[in-house]
Amino acid sequence: MAKLILVLGDQLSPALPSLRDLQPQDRVLMAEVASEASYSPHHKQKIILIFSAMRHFAAVLQQQGINVSYIDYQQKVSSLTEAVAIELARYPQLDQICITECGEYRLEQEILSWQQQFQRPLLLLEDDRFIATKAMFQHWAQGRTQYRMEYFYREMRRYTGLLMHNNQPVGGQWNFDASNRKALSSKQQLPNILKFEPDDITIAVIALVKQQFASNMGDADSFNYAVTGKQARQAFLHFVEHQLPLFGDYQDAMQLNEPYLFHSICSMYLNCGLLDVRWVCQKVELAYKEGKVPLNAAEGFIRQLIGWREYVRGLYWLLMPEYKERNFLQAHTALPSYYWTGDTKMRCMQQAIGHTIKYAYSHHIQRLMITGNFALLAGLSVDEICNWYLAVYADAYEWVELPNTLGMALFADQGVLASKPYAASGKYIQRMSNYCKSCVYDVSETTSPMACPFNALYWNFLERNQTLLSGNARMQLSYQNWFRKSAEERLQITEKAQQLLIHLEQL
């Protein structure tokens, strides 16, 4: 039986299940199609990363003697379905379609239609590049009223054996997050990430993206990310040596004009297949065992992968498609234009969005506690915010973006993912960054003309959602603090917040 094997743009892994046991009569199909490139207004650098990495991966397969058909964007193929139809018409002897399961529900529905449409068996293989299968997560979730990541993470530690000794966690505790919240000193020397000069393939993709996606966010000419597995591994080993030792201490820190700090940016490489999660975690564990990084750094990083990353994927497939429609707090306010331009007086938002525009990247605290927190406090549209996060980050695919945004940042899932809303005033931002020192708004003020907008919006968020949130045990202290204020002060704060919301576009 001759197979048509479709490899997607986030499946650029030599160990991909569908690429195992290739036979001489099989053909691999890769395609840059309009529907996938434009269903969201993707950041220019996200498209460059995926198209260039796809072209490099296809070249490697061809060098190995594998039959590869590659459809580039200029061939104007509208969808993956059309690409498959073209290939089957060209090679009618291909009597089976084979693909590793995809990462987005909407695309899965398209793929499942192929068996009937093309009158050929569809072989859909489990994506074992992830550690937890969908069945494993469903088994873990069965019978639980709450799906808490911490408990899933402990099961994953036991399953993988990472940072374990005699079935107990190394260091005597599972989670060192309490040691990972230090603010960054201005005297702390900062490392650099490893960057890569674009080669001829990437230069051609940059030219294509500048022409075909001119109105999308971002600057194509400044692209310098890894586009091959070899480069991605080099970038990660550079991180392990130069950034990981202090990643634990400063993973929640933010600093003016510093997008990367001690973060690895490996998520964009993991999520398109250039890095393998097991290899990454083993390198981190080895660095700890060799005394090169402290335990809080190694544990904190591994938790992000075998805990959080695996957890949100499991949750996504467990709850879709209904999950995408949730909007517990009924947030519908239109997205301000500065989410696309960065043109706001709020320094923290300038920084987080500015980094996003320039690099197709901002780190997880900027996403959660700056742009996400502001969206939560202002009641911005869940659909619009989820679409924004999906579009603007190079590591964003719906399986990872949607639970992080809808659940973690916006609490729109009524606490399925997070035990409480991650709502915070400007004081959190002041504590974890140096943004407030150069902001036109005063973080110590709440109702004055130039008071930090986060402050009044935070208290107004509590007031606005009191019926929905006051019963949450983890919100009790916040509500006690709110009701300790006099009735007059509460009125002034809510009036200030209403003015901010009316003039949201001018902040």
CATH number, residue 255: 1.25.40.80
Edge-first strand order for the sheet with 96-100 is 68-71, 27-31, 3-6, 96-100, 122-125
Q: How are the residues of the chain apportioned to helix, strand and coil, as percentages rounded to the nearest 5?
A: 55, 5, 40
Contact 319, 404 (CB under 8 A): no
66 domain residue, yes or no: yes
- Which amino acid belongs to residue 260? Y
pLDDT attached to residue 3:
94
Specify whether 449 is located in the same domain as 375: yes
pLDDT attached to residue 186:
75
Phi-psi region of 135 (alpha: psi -120 to 50; beta: other; left: phi over 0): alpha
How far is the C-alpha of 453 from the C-alpha of 344, rounded, in Å? 12
How far is the C-alpha of 153 from the C-alpha of 129, rounded, in Å? 17
How far is the C-alpha of 403 from the C-alpha of 323, rounded, in Å? 9
State which of 269, 292, 319 marks the end of a domain.
319
224 domain residue, yes or no: no
Specify whether 286 is located in the same domain as 165: yes
Bigger pLDDT: 68 or 188? 68
Specify whether 357 is located in the same domain as 297: no
The tokens describing 293, both together, are 């990084």
Number of domains in the chain: 3
How far is the C-alpha of 275 from the C-alpha of 12, rounded, in Å? 9
CATH number, residue 413: 1.10.579.10
Specify whether 11 is located in the same domain as 88: yes
Specify whether 168 is located in the same domain as 90: no
pLDDT attached to residue 376:
97
How many other C-beta atoms are found inside a 10 Å radius of the C-beta of residue 466?
14
Specify whether 350 is located in the same domain as 294: no
Backbone angles phi, psi at 243, to 5 degrees: -120, -35
- Would you give the DSSP letter of residue 460? H
How many other C-beta atoms are found inside a 10 Å radius of the C-beta of residue 339?
22
70 domain residue, yes or no: yes
With residue 124 as reference, give the H or E element that holds it. Answer: strand 122-125
Given the structure tokens 């959602």, which residue do they identify?
465
Specify whether 91 is located in the same domain as 184: no
Q: Is the pLDDT of residue 248 over 90?
A: no
Backbone angles phi, psi at 442, to 5 degrees: -100, 110
How many CA atoms are closer than 13 Å to the CA of 505, on its beta-carbon side? Answer: 4
CA-CA distances (angstroms) from residue 304 to 36, 143, 157, 277, 310?
27, 25, 12, 11, 9
Q: Is the pLDDT of residue 123 over 70?
A: yes
203 domain residue, yes or no: no
- Which amino acid belongs to residue 368? L
State which of 98, 125, 152 marks the end of a domain.
125
What integer best gives the mean pLDDT of the chain?
94
Phi-psi region of 106 (alpha: psi -120 to 50; beta: other; left: phi over 0): alpha
pLDDT attached to residue 179:
66
- Would you give the DSSP letter of residue 336? P
How far is the C-alpha of 8 from the C-alpha of 473, rounded, in Å? 44
- Cα end-to-end distance, the chain, whole Å: 62
- Which amino acid belongs to residue 410? L
How many other C-beta atoms are found inside a 10 Å radius of the C-beta of residue 349?
25
236 domain residue, yes or no: no
> Residues 182-241: pLDDT tens digits?
777 777 888 888 999 999 999 999 999 999 999 999 999 999 999 999 999 999 999 999
CATH number, residue 47: 3.40.50.620
pLDDT attached to residue 117:
94
Specify whether 379 is located in the same domain as 295: no
CA-CA distances (angstroms) from residue 255 to 238, 429, 440?
21, 10, 17
Specify whether 482 is located in the same domain as 344: yes
385 domain residue, yes or no: yes
pLDDT attached to residue 439:
96
207 domain residue, yes or no: no
- Full-model pTM: 0.94
201 domain residue, yes or no: no
SS3 assignment, position 421: coil
Backbone angles phi, psi at 287, to 5 degrees: -60, -35
SS3 assignment, position 28: strand
Closest CA to 265 of 161, 160, 191, 181: 191
Segments forming the whole domain that contains residue 484: 338-506
Specify whether 145 is located in the same domain as 289: yes
Contact 416, 426 (CB under 8 A): no
Chain centre to alpha carbon of residue 422: 17
How many CA atoms are closer than 13 Å to the CA of 430, on its beta-carbon side? Answer: 14
pLDDT attached to residue 165:
92
H runs (alpha helix) in 267-407: 267-272, 277-289, 295-302, 310-319, 338-341, 347-359, 364-366, 373-378, 382-392, 398-402
Transcribe 33-72 into DSSP letters.
Answer: -HHHHHSS---HHHHHHHHHHHHHHHHHHHHTT--EEEE-
Q: Is the pLDDT of residue 334 over 90?
A: yes
pLDDT attached to residue 193:
85
Q: Is the pLDDT of residue 468 over 90?
A: yes
How many other C-beta atoms are found inside a 10 Å radius of the C-beta of residue 447?
16
Contact 446, 456 (CB under 8 A): yes
Specify whether 269 is located in the same domain as 292: yes
pLDDT attached to residue 495:
96
How far is the C-alpha of 99 from the C-alpha of 29, rounded, in Å? 10
Specify whether 112 is located in the same domain as 144: no
> Residues 284-326: pLDDT tens digits?
999 999 999 999 999 999 999 999 999 999 999 999 999 999 9
Residue 410, judged by CB atoms within 10 A of its CB (0-12, 13-18, 19+), counts as: buried
SS3 assignment, position 491: helix
